[in-house]
Amino acid sequence: MKTRPLTRAQGAPRRTILLAGSLGFLLYLSLDSGRTSTGVVSAGRPPALTTTFASSNSSDGHMFNVRPFKTIRIKDLSCNVDGTANTLVHYKVFSRVGSYEFKTQSASQWTLQAQGTTLSMGKNAATSLEADFDLVLPEGELTGFYVTLTSGVFLSTDTPTQHEIAASDANLAIQEGIGISYPFSQVLERQIWNGTIHYSIVAGTPFCFGGPHSQSCPCGNTTTGEAGCQNGSGRGALLETIGTQSVSAADLEFTVSDLPPNRPVLLLSGTSMLNGGQGAFYGDGLACIGGSLRAYGVHFSGPHGLAHWNKAVVAQAGYHVGETRYFQAVFRDVVGLGPCGSLFNLSNGYTIAFKP
C-alpha cells in the first residue's frame, strides 16, 4: 500500500514514512515534534442545539423529550440558571427511554446520568453543567430528560403547548415540556427548557478501551468509559466521530479530546483490529489497529487538549462502500507526566463501516 509522504516544516529535509503494522507508531514518534503535514487542520467544534435563553418563568427543574434523527452521543448540557453569576449550583440529570409523560413522580422509572457542581454564569446566560456523562441516543428513539437543581432554580420560557418542537436541526429535536419541583414532585406550568444540548453524531463503533471492560493498561493506568489509557492529562484520550459513515455525503470527521496540551497527535487507520479488538500494550497505552496503516496528518492538541481532522482530510482517502477501517490516534505525552514513562500514548479505537 502507498502512503502519503509526511514532510517536515518548510526548509527542513523531506522524509517519507512507510507505515507497516504497529511499527509505524514508533517510526513516527522517533521524529522531532516540529514536523507538519498537509493534513494539519484547526480544531473544530462539535454540533449543539439551543432552545432559547429568553426566560419568562422558573422552576427547580424541567422535563422534556428529545428525538434524534440520527444516532447521537450527548456530551454536555448548558442551562439557564437564575441568580448571581459566579455562584456554585448543584445539579442532577436523569433520562429514560420513552416520554417523560406519566412518569413525572416515578423516580424508579428514571436513570441518573450525572450529578455535580458547576459555576453559574447568571440569568439568561449559558451555564455549562460540565457533566461527565456519555449518553448515546439511538436514531428515532424518544428519550425523556429531567434536568434539575437540588438548590436554586432554572429559568424557562412559558408556552401554551407541551409537546411541540421547541428547537430542531438535521440531527435531533427538543420538545417543549414542563417545570417540576425537586425531586419528582409537583408539576408546574408548561415550559420550554432554556438550554443547549452539546452532542456528536455517532458514526461507527468505539472499541479497545483503557478501562475495566477491556484489556488492562501497561502500568495500571486504566480509565473509565470508552477512552484510551490514562495519559499525562490525568484522563484517557477519547477518539470520537462527527458526521456519518456515508461515502456520498463525505462528511466524516474525527476529534480527540482529553489529550495533554500542546502535543503532536497523529490519526491513523488500519485494515484490522489487534488482539480481537482488545489491543496490545504499546507505550503507555494500547495499540488497537493493525494491517496496512494510513496516516491523516498531524495536529497539535493546543491548550485545551483537543485535536480535530475535518471532512476534507478524511475524504481524501477515497473510501468505498462496504469497506471497513479501524481508526486510532497516537500522540506524544509530556515528559515527567506520562504515567508509565514511555513518552507516548494512544486513544481508543474506532470502527467505521462505510455505507452508500
Q: Do 66 and 193 form a contact (C-beta atoms < 8 A)?
A: no
Q: Which part of the chain has CATH 2.60.120?
A: 52-193
Q: SS3 of 20, please?
A: strand
If we measure between CA atoms, which residue out of 130, 57, 126, 121 comes closest to residue 83?
121
- State pLDDT tens for residues 106-129: 999 999 999 999 999 999 999 999
Pairing of strands 143-149, 48-50: unpaired
pLDDT of residue 12: 32
> Positive or negative CA dihedral for 67, 72, 74, 79?
negative
Topology, domain 52-193: Jelly Rolls (2.60.120)
Residue length of the chain: 356
Peptide bond into 47 cis (omega under 30): no
Averaged pLDDT score across all residues of the chain: 85
- Determine how many CB atoms are found less than 10 A away from the CB of residue 104: 17
The strand ranges marked E within 17-101 are 48-50, 57-59, 61-68, 72-80, 88-97
Q: Is the pLDDT of residue 43 over 70?
A: no
**pTM for this prediction:** 0.69
How many Å apart are CA 319 and CA 247, to the nearest integer?
A: 7
Average the pLDDT over each of 19-33, 162-176, 210-224, 259-273 and give the range with the smallest value.
19-33
- State pLDDT tens for residues 210-256: 976 556 899 999 998 889 999 999 999 999 988 889 999 898 999 99
At residue 265's C-alpha, the angle toward residues 261 and 271, to 5°, is: 150
Q: C-alpha 49: how far from its chain's center?
A: 15
